[in-house]
Each structure stands twice: as structure tokens, then as C-alpha cells.
Structure 1
Amino acid sequence: MASLDEIETPTSSAKPCELCEQESILQFKCVECEKVICDRCKGIHAKVPVLSNHLIINIEKQFVTQNIQKIQLCSMPCDNHAKKFHCLFCRTCNRLVCPDCVSSIHTKHEFEPLEKACENKLSELSAFDSFMEEKVYKLRKINKNFKKKKETWECEIDQVKKYIDENEREIQEAVTKYAKELRENVEQKRKNRNQEFDEREQNNCEQEAIFTDFRGKIKKALESDQGYDIFNTVSEKDKLNTLIDNTKMTTEIIDLTNSKLSSKRMAVIFGNINHFSVPAYVAVKHDSNYTINVQGIDKMGMCTDGSYWASVYNNDKDDSYLIKSTLSRVINWCKTVEVNVFDLALTTDDTVIASVHMTPEVKRIGKNGRLEEFINVAPLITRGIHVNKENEIILGVRDNGDPFQITEESCRKILIFGMDGNQKESYEFDKKKTRLVTIPVRICTDVNGDIIVIDSMTKDTKRVLSIGRRAGEIKWTYEGEFDFKQQKAFDPNDITSTQTGYLVLSEVISHRIYLLSLGGDFLTFCDLRTMGIVLPRALAIDSKGFLWVGCANDRMNKDFAKKHKLPNLTCLKLEISDV
């Protein structure tokens, strides 16, 4: 914040505009951009929708100086000398003085006439009034933003409480259902076992009667003097041995495993609350550069063993192919697969899957290293693709018509597939039947599992949005910053999510990467040209949390890139702290 001593009355002189950098007489200041701008950039502000609400202050002439002749300057009494009036302004002491003051205290000081001093003070007040106007505007805007954030916060809290209630109800229903099944299972086991007991008891009673009766026969045979009775009784005895063997019964034990519900197990079953704050410190530090013998890297993914898959191209971006390679200062090829890739993703076991450009196909690289058919969404066309932590495939699709001519028959969706290739979910409209996306060109997921999409709305307009996985509604959108130097709107090329919950965007045209919070708030950007890196396109986070950036050096003059040894693969370290 500027101090009072730093506030000066602006002067009319040709200086570089802080936005377009053209020499011009700077007459205006954009409070939102915090830049002093020329008349041309002021006109651009009015034409660009995202800038039209910015406050523009005319700093060339904030105040029409009052007629000094009408201001009473000759009757200002001196505070130090009775019956004396101020006659001059002491510039050395910055105060009004009378004749006695001049002769006694302010000898050899610099003075100026009251009229001139008053005119300067009016200009100073005018400048300070402009300064205060800017501060009041900012404070009102901040409070307005606070009010909006508070409303959003309240909605999020209510939504979380709603989810808690829903989870509680679902878990109660599931527990009740499971307990009922366990009881029914136990009762069935009781019934089956008791039936077996009853059958065995009845059988034993029958055998007891037979054995008692046979004992009578044995007694009679023992007392008989007839051989026939003895041999006949022994013959019947051998038949009774089988009945004695069948009286055995197995022992069974039934029990219920005691399962303690620890807080960790409850978090898995019930869910957990994620609460993130906007960091106080963000820094992007350069780690290392690598050179690949291709002109451009369009998309990449880092494997757990330190190697990587990338979609690369040389002459035509629409004619790309896949490579897998290990990292060294000059990278040697490991594997090349001919396929025209639009986007790619890696599964949890480092299998690469790719959406094929302008086709309904998703293909994968099999264990034999060959390209395999995997998913087909005909008659739709595949766009951005991503694999989340649960190993689900998230695929953007569109119909085969004009990409930006939306009709009632148009189909623009986010589809969720399992690794078996079967579709599980679909997101196309919100609860108000409003279309969620136009063309989902790149996709990732945040730490909450919500779907983050780079949505191409028109040929020149893109946005980033978050779709809540549970509610199927757009949670927030980010439309970027207008680039005055390039005279182009926000044009993100890739997006990824860090392990700590932040979102990183790349933008080729501005040589920047952007950092967003989990809630879609802009945190900062880094111009990679300060590190000798140009045209960042592809982004990937490795298992150690490092950010990898693949560059589109095809847009750079080949001789220039070779002369300056520009890298096309760079490793960066993001340092983010809340203190």
C-alpha cells in the first residue's frame, strides 16, 4: 500500500503503458489491474467482457483547481505571534509563517507565496482524494467478495452437512440390511442344525429300540439248545454293526468376528472432511532441463519407475505418436507407437491409454507393447481423458457435428468407465438442464475426486471448471486473465493436480503456468521465460511431487531454438506454504 509521502500529482509525459508497453501519455489507472494505462488500453477494457467492470480512474486531471483569488489567504492568524497573519509558506518546514516567524525562526529557509502554496496543496488533496477513491473502491469490492465467499462457504457447509446426513442414512440402511441378512443367515443355520439334531435323536431312539429288542434275542439264543437259533442270531448281529457306525455326528462352532470401528475405518466407510486454505507463500523453482529430438510435446504422463509416456509430434500437431522413454540429459528412445493421439493417461499400473484424434476410439498399450482396442463410443468423438486414483477412466466426448454449433441434438458429455471398459456414470446436464461442457479438451481430478475440465467454449474462448462428482453440478469456473501484450484471451493447454490439492495450468501463448486453489481461486502465475523455458504445453506430476513441463517448440524458429539450446522437457519444484 502506498504511503502518504508516495502520493504525487501525475504529470503529462510520454511513458510506456504498463499493459501494452507502448509509449504514450498515460492518463488513466485501472484499479483492478493496478496498472497505469493509455487511452487505447482503456478502450480495450470497455470491449473485453472480463475487463468491462474494472474501475478506471482519470489521473491526468482529478481536480479543477479553485480560483485562488476567491480563497481567503490574507486573514489566517499566526499561532505563535498575536495579531500577526500568515504571509508566506515555508517549504523547508512545510508550514505557514508570519513576518515575525520569518525574521526569528525561519531565516535562510525556502519560501513560496501563499497562492502558489495553496494551489499545490489543492493538487495534493486532489491526488489524495483519488488515492482514497481507489482505496474505498477496493475495500467495497473486497467486502463484496467477502460476502460472496461467505455465501459460498455457507452453501458448502450446508452441502457437506447434507452429505453427512445422506451418508449416515445410507450407512444405517446398509448396516440394518446387513444385520438382517446376518440374522437370517444365523436363523437358517440354527434351523438346519436343529433339524439335523432332531433327525439324529429320532434315529438314535429307533436304534435303541432295535438294540433292546435284539438283546432279548441274544438272551434267548444263549439259553437255547438249538444250533439254528445261535447261528441265525449271529447273522442278524452283523447287520446291526452298520447302524452303530452311522450314529456319529460332526461338531460345528458358530461365532461373529468382532470388528472394531476405528476412526480410520470410519473415515473410509463414512467419508472425511477436506478443508484447504489459500497458501501464503508460493514459489516455482527450476530443477533440471532435458532435450528430446522432437519439435513438440503435446501430452505426457510420468511412470512410477521414473520413465514417462508422451504424445509427441514433429511437423504437424495433428499427426502425433506415442513414445516411452527414460530420463537422461539427452533422452534416448525406449519405445515408439504409431497412433494419432488427442490425449493420454496412465493407469495405476502405468498402462497407457489414449483417446485417438477425431475417432470414437480409446486404445491402450498391452503387455506385449502393441496397441489394443479398448473403448469405443461411436458415434461420438473422444476428447480429453484421465485416470483417477480409483483407477476409473474419465473421458470427454462430443458429437461429430460442428464443434461450436450447439443444438438440442448435440451431445457433450463426461463419461466414467471401469477398467473392464464398462460405462459407470455420465455427466451432461445439471439439475436445471443446463449443459455442463462444450468441448472437454483436457481433464484431471482434484484431491476430493471432483472432475476438473478445460472446456473449449468457442474457437478463441476457454475456461476451467469443476464438476462435483457427487452432485453432478458445476462448483466453480475460472476464465483466466486477459493478455494485453498478446491481445488474446485466456487459452490454457493442459491441467494437472498436485498432491497437496492445488491445480496447475499451462498456457503456450504467454509462456506461463498458473496456480489455482482447490476452490478455483487464482493464486499466482510464473513466466517460464525467466528460467529459459518457452511455450509450455504438457503437464505431469511425478510420484515425488515434481512438476514436469513438456514444451511446444514447434512454434519457435528452429535455428533460434537450436542456437539458444531451448529444452523441450523441464522439471520444476513447486514450493507452497501456508505460513
Structure 2
Amino acid sequence: MLSLDNKTAWISSYDINTLSKINFDDKIRTVKDISADVYDMSLTAREDMLLSLYGSTDVSTDVSLLTTKTGEIKPFLSLSPLYPGSIHITKHNEIILGVMEEGSTYDRTDKGGSKLIVFGMNGKPKTSFEYDKHKQRMFTLPDRIASNVNDDIVVIDNISQYYGRVVVLNQEGQIKWTYQGNPQVNSGVNLFYPSDIVTTSVGHVIVSDINRHALHVLSHQGALLICKVMADQGIIYPMSLDFDTNGQLWVGCRSEDGESCDAKLHIVNMSS
């Protein structure tokens, strides 16, 4: 989900392979539907979108550009033989991609695995982040990427399909801190499984914890400020997060059973 203002958003539903522009005014109105199986997306300065796509091998190694005025999708950047996953455009107009080798979804080895690559908007690579200062691989599957006011790179790294963590890198690509959940909420079988991440204007990090119906708010230094289970407010299975132009947090949730079409979008006022 990407909000354009306080009433309009692009929302992707991979269950029905559709990317929709939705207007939320007196009535909910679909402005545009585009057939696209989107893994992740990020807005350019011109409010076009860069997309990483699921689907056929014809597009799976490409980052595509969606021209929002026309709805045309065309290849923007080829990564073959790597596969793009998470994508983020920074305030400095740099593109950060989480990429993986074929067959290496949760297989972090010395010979192959996942990494971040930073590109300019001209599609030329600038740098990549793969190993820490101990020459160990930093990521298993970098699933979502954000950046904060200090230009740190904030990454959701999924260790398995049941468990993940937050990894924050400095501008040199070294790990500043990691977060693996709140023991009061994430214990036993209730592992921390982050699904999306955003940062605030003062540097706080907000993470959606889909299986625990929770939002974790962290300081820019990685300290847990609050962990709020949102189920008592009717917010369950929070998948996607974004701030609108009014500073309100949009929370997109998946359907309760994962199949029916009763997914909900909530708008939350955040207090400092």
C-alpha cells in the first residue's frame, strides 16, 4: 500500500493479482485497476511507481516502471540472474533493492544468498550490502526496506516463513542494531513475524507484527518504546503500513481466513 495524500492510495492484492488506485472520500471509489502481481512497490518523485513483480520468468528478474497516468508497465531495470524482492526509493532518489539468487529464499550460505543493492535513478548500481564486518552474511530474505531521517537503512529480514527480525544499517552498510520482537508478546509459538515497516519524521520505527496483530514502535536507537496489540480495536492481521500527508498511519490488513474478501484498511492517529 502507498498513500498519495489523505484520501488516495495505491493498493496491491496479490491474491487477485490486482493493483488498484483507490479514492477514500464520502464513498470508496476505485479509480484504476491494473493487472499486476506485485511483490513490493515504491513511489518515484514524479509519483510513478517502481514495482518488483511475481509471475513469469519474463518479468521476475526485472524491476518495472508503472507510469501512473497511463497505467503502462514496462521494464526498468534487469537484475538477471538475481531476483528482486523488496524495493525502496530514498529521499535522495536512490533505489534500494533486496535481491536473492534463485532457490535461496531462506538458504543463507557462503556461496549464495540475499543482499541489498543501491542504484541511482539512472539504473546504475552504486554499492551493495551483503556481509557484516565479521564477513558473515547479513540477510536471509530482506522482505521490506525503509530509511529514516539519519539515512539509516531499515530492513525486515525474514529468517523463515514463521519468524523475522528488523535490521538497521548505517550509511556504510554496517549493522547498527537488530530487533527480534517483544518477549511479552512474542513467546512460545507466537514468534515475531514482521510484515511491513515505516519510519516517522522524528526517527521512530513502526513495525507491523501480522500474527500477533501488533504494532511495535522503536526508537532510532532500537529501544522498544511501545508494543500495542491492536486486536481490541478491531485491527487484525496488519500487513501493510504507510503514512499519509496528514501524518496518519494507514494499516492495511489481510482477510481473517486469508481467502474471503473482507480485508480492511484502518487509519490510526499516532501520538508522540
| Residues 39-188 of structure 1: pairs in structure 2 closer than 5 A | none
CA–CA separation in structure 2 for the residues paired with 1:430 and 1:484? 27
Write the deviation string for residues 168-198 of structure 1: whole angstroms up to 9, x where unpaired: xxxxxxxxxxxxxxxxxxxxxxxxxxxxxxx
Is 1:463 the counterpart of 2:160 in the alignment? no
Contact 2:38 2:51 in 1 (8 A): yes
Write the deviation string for residues 103-147 of structure 1: whole angstroms up to 9, x where unpaired: xxxxxxxxxxxxxxxxxxxxxxxxxxxxxxxxxxxxxxxxxxxxx
Where does the alignment leave 5 or more consecutive residues of structure 2 unmatched? Answer: none
1:474 equivalent among 164, 175, 190 = 175
Is 1:547 the counterpart of 2:244 in the alignment? no
Specify whether residues 486 and 572 from structure 1 end up closer, same or farther in structure 2 by C-alpha distance, changes over 3 A only: farther
| Residues 288-327 of structure 1: pairs in structure 2 closer than 5 A | 300-304=1-5, 306-313=7-14, 316=15, 320-327=17-24
Write the deviation string for residues 503-548 of structure 1: whole angstroms up to 9, x where unpaired: 1111121111111100111111222222222211100011221110
Question: What's 1:413 paired with?
Answer: 115
Q: What code does the residue aligned with 2:129 have?
A: Y
| Residues 500-579 of structure 1: pairs in structure 2 closer than 5 A | 500-555=202-257, 558=260, 568-576=264-272
Question: What's 1:437 paired with?
Answer: 139
CA–CA separation in structure 2 for the residues paired with 1:451 and 1:534? 27
Contact 2:106 2:140 in 1 (8 A): yes
Specify whether residues 402 and 416 from structure 1 end up closer, same or farther in structure 2 by C-alpha distance, changes over 3 A only: closer
Write the deviation string for residues 27-55 of structure 1: whole angstroms up to 9, x where unpaired: xxxxxxxxxxxxxxxxxxxxxxxxxxxxx
Question: What's 1:454 paired with?
Answer: 156
Q: What code does the residue aligned with 2:9 have?
A: Y
1:372 equivalent among 50, 57, 74 = 74
Name the stretch that deviates more: 400-409 or 366-375: 400-409
2:29 equivalent among 332, 335, 343 = 332
Q: What code does the residue aligned with 1:497 have?
A: T
Contact 1:446 1:501 in 2 (8 A): yes
Q: CA deviation at 1:481?
A: 2.4
Specify which structure has the higher proportion of strand. 2
Classify the secondary structure of the residue corresponding to 1:509. helix
Write the deviation string for residues 276-325 of structure 1: whole angstroms up to 9, x where unpaired: xxxxxxxxxxxxxxxxxxxxxxxx11114742111114xx3xx5321112
CA–CA separation in structure 2 for the residues paired with 1:430 and 1:509? 30
CA–CA separation in structure 2 for the residues paired with 1:460 and 1:363? 29
Contact 1:363 1:371 in 2 (8 A): yes
Specify which structure has the higher proportion of helix. 1
Q: Cα RMSD over matched residues?
A: 2.1
Is 1:343 the counterpart of 2:40 in the alignment? yes
TM-score normalized by structure 1? 0.44
